[in-house]
Amino acid sequence: MASISLKGVTKIFGGKKAANQITFDVADREFLVLLGPSGCGKSTLLRMLAGLEQVTSGEVHVGARRVDTLPPSARDMAFVFQSYALYPHMTVRRNITFPLIMREHRWWFHLPLIGGIAKRRIEQTPAVRDLVERTARTLALTEMLDQYPRTLSGGQRQRVALGRAMVRQPDVFLMDEPLSNLDAKLRTSMRAEIIKLHREVGGTFVYVTHDQIEAMTMGTRIALMRDGVVQQFGTPREIYTDPANTFVARFIGTPPMNLIEARIEPRGLVIGKAVLPLPGHLAALGQQAARDVLLGIRPHALGLGNGVLAGQVALVEHVGAESIVSIKLDHANTAHSDDGESGDDVMVVVQGYSDLRAGQPVHLSLDLGEAVLFERDGQRIRV
Ligand code: ATP
């Protein structure tokens, strides 16, 4: 069993908390994605799991074993980095076999002649050959076993790096942005390969990325981090439909969720001069005292036409089958999120090629069926 349990894991670098009291459990064979913007602490957390970084405080358990006190080699985890870290002077076969050679390492392996013979002997053991060739088959590398890394493409090199992790048959695979050096197309196909790999080898995966698409498509669960703190831990679907705060709401989804200043009153949801009836899932709020809120609504839930919110088109972007229309509202404000990236415009996704032009007046309609509400400080309001 390779369940992973983090209890209050904290890392302090020179007074700054790169990871702050992180506590969660990862089930055996789960694919957990650590997601968040640059500098949020996801790599530091992964490196603490691997033992490449000491925890300042807290505990890491794998199955029944406490591992944060153990050296990396005793943790039975394989690590795949962003840079492939292959040995350029070794063939693909030797690169993949290398972890198995190191497992039997003796001091004379360093001697040029005897070392060479000893390594070749391990490589040619039937069990080792078998395992390496099976791994190469899984990763479609069979044809390349006798080539050197310099003759391979980026995607092929990353597959060799994955192969090197796989032959160790570890309980836990740790991956730090393994696809970020690949071009967009290759990234998409490697994403599918890693998902397949997870299904086939059956270990527990912890995967670091800042790419929400990777997280949403690969993860069985996601830990979304910011400033060393886990903001939300849940399935991709929970994180998308039920965000814990405005940071989560805007980090996941393209274009991001709109945040519009609003007020809840007994007569309904007031946005600027418009009053909208509260939808069923928010109706109970109408019975409470009036309060200022932020309305969170996805760009797909807005429409153009006979709507209630007046505004002007600021920008139209055509992206294939859809158009993204940015609109400046006349009487309402969009909220600036803490990260400062929230613009002044509401984004609407419409099907097809929009003929709208900048400056044109429009009226927005809102489908509040899946809308969420936040306090003005960004915390989610639960009904
Ligand atoms: P990125 O996606 O850019 O790699 P990240 O989310 O993986 O970012 P970390 O690399 O974990 O972030 O870094 C988290 C914080 O800890 C950052 O502020 C970083 O500057 C700091 N940090 C990381 N490693 C060290 C170190 N060895 N010494 C000092 N500070 C560090």
Using an 8 Å Cβ cutoff, are 345 and 334 in contact?
Answer: yes
The domain in which residue 275 lies consists of 257-374
Phi, psi of 178 (to 5 degrees): -70, -15
Does 243 share its domain with 261? no
34-82 pLDDT per residue, tens: 999 999 999 999 999 999 999 999 999 999 999 999 999 889 899 888 7
Does 240 share its domain with 294? no
- Within-domain flag for 109: yes
Cα separation, 316 vs 304, in Å, equals 13
Q: Domain of 98: which CATH number?
A: 3.40.50.300
Using an 8 Å Cβ cutoff, are 337 and 246 in contact?
Answer: yes
Using an 8 Å Cβ cutoff, are 233 and 44 in contact?
Answer: no
Residues of the chain with pLDDT under 50: 339-341
Q: Whose CA is nearest to atom 27 of ligand 1?
A: 13
- Within-domain flag for 252: no
C-alpha distances in angstroms, 336 versus 222, 260, 300?
25, 9, 20
Domain boundary among the residues 247, 282, 305 is at 247
Tally of structural domains, the chain: 2
Amino acid sitting at position 99: P
357 token code pair: 């032009």
Q: Which residues line ligand 1 (CB under 6 A)?
A: 13-14, 18, 36, 38-44, 210
To test ligand 1's pocket by mutation, which of 9, 17, 43, 222 has the most ligand atoms within 8 angstroms of CB?
43
Question: How far away, in angstroms, is 96 Cα from ligand 1 center?
Answer: 29
Q: Domain of 299: which CATH number?
A: 2.40.50.140
Does 160 share its domain with 101? yes
Q: Whose CA is nearest to atom 5 of ligand 1?
A: 39
The pTM score is 0.89
Does 197 share its domain with 274? no
Q: What is the DSSP string of 271-331?
A: ETTEEEPPPGGGGGGGGS--EEEEEEE-GGGEEEEEEEEEEEEEEEEEETTEEEEEEEESS
- Within-domain flag for 383: no
- Within-domain flag for 348: yes
Q: Whose CA is nearest to atom 28 of ligand 1?
A: 13
Q: What does the pLDDT read at residue 337?
A: 54
Looking at the CA of residue 46, tell me the nearest atom of ligand 1. Answer: 11
To test ligand 1's pocket by mutation, which of 16, 44, 81 has the most ligand atoms within 8 angstroms of CB?
44
Q: What does the pLDDT read at residue 108?
A: 64
Domain boundary among the residues 214, 247, 280 is at 247
Using an 8 Å Cβ cutoff, are 61 and 243 in contact?
Answer: no
- Other beta carbons less than 10 A from residue 104's beta carbon: 13
Does 280 share its domain with 202? no
Looking at the CA of residue 45, tell me the nearest atom of ligand 1. Answer: 11
Contacts of 65 (CB under 8 A, 6+ apart): none
Cα separation, 282 vs 273, in Å, equals 20
Does 242 share its domain with 269? no
- Within-domain flag for 46: yes
Tokens 């032959």 correspond to what residue?
167
Q: What does the pLDDT read at residue 341?
A: 44
249-262 pLDDT per residue, tens: 999 999 999 999 99
Cα separation, 136 vs 93, in Å, equals 8
Phi, psi of 71 (to 5 degrees): -70, 160
327: β partners = 313, 346
Q: Whose CA is nearest to atom 31 of ligand 1?
A: 13
User: Helices 126-138 and 92-103 sit at what angle, rounded to 10 degrees?
Assistant: 130
Question: How far away, in angstroms, is 319 Cα from ligand 1 center?
Answer: 35
Amino acid sitting at position 341: E
- Within-domain flag for 380: no
- Within-domain flag for 381: no
Question: How far away, in angstroms, is 45 Cα from ligand 1 center?
Answer: 9
Does 287 share its domain with 342? yes
To test ligand 1's pocket by mutation, which of 12, 40, 207, 224 has the most ligand atoms within 8 angstroms of CB?
40
Cα separation, 222 vs 329, in Å, equals 34
Amino acid sitting at position 273: K
Domain boundary among the residues 220, 247, 274 is at 247
Does 210 share its domain with 319? no
Does 207 share its domain with 336? no
Does 54 share its domain with 110? yes
Looking at the CA of residue 19, tell me the nearest atom of ligand 1. Answer: 14
Does ipTM top 0.90?
yes
Q: What does the pLDDT read at residue 237?
A: 97
Q: Whose CA is nearest to atom 30 of ligand 1?
A: 13
Does 24 share its domain with 131? yes
Does 168 share its domain with 204? yes
